[in-house]
Amino acid sequence: MSSLLIGVRRGCGVAPDLFLVPMDWLMERIVHGGMVGTTIGKNKESFTDLDFANDVVLLAEMLSVLVLALQVMDTLSA
């Protein structure tokens, strides 16, 4: 099958949703466990993850917590 018939066209408005919807589902399950996140600023605002159009950043204050979160992500995404 030709590679021209697979995927979405460049600049297609649906492309970000095809990435973000499954990633939001996955990140919700990882973050819901309460094991990831970091606090920033004097107001101690908590951030767990940052979602972009084609990238996700997972935040943790300790490497061991990040490793556990990545193992959960690996298990859920298989």
Domain-wise residue ranges, the chain:
13-77
User: How is residue 28 written in tokens?
Assistant: 């919700």
Q: Are 40 and 12 in contact (CB under 8 A)?
A: no
- The single-letter DSSP state of residue 37 is B
Identify the pLDDT of residue 57. 80
Q: Are 49 and 34 in contact (CB under 8 A)?
A: no
| Phi, psi values for residue 66, rounded to 5° | -65, -40
pTM exceeds 0.75: no
Question: What is the average pLDDT across 15-42?
Answer: 81
Q: Where are the alpha helices (DSSP H) in 1-78?
A: 15-32, 63-77
- The single-letter DSSP state of residue 57 is E
- What are the pLDDT digits (tens) for 7-23? 767 777 777 777 778 88
Alpha-carbon distance 21 to 41, whole Å? 30
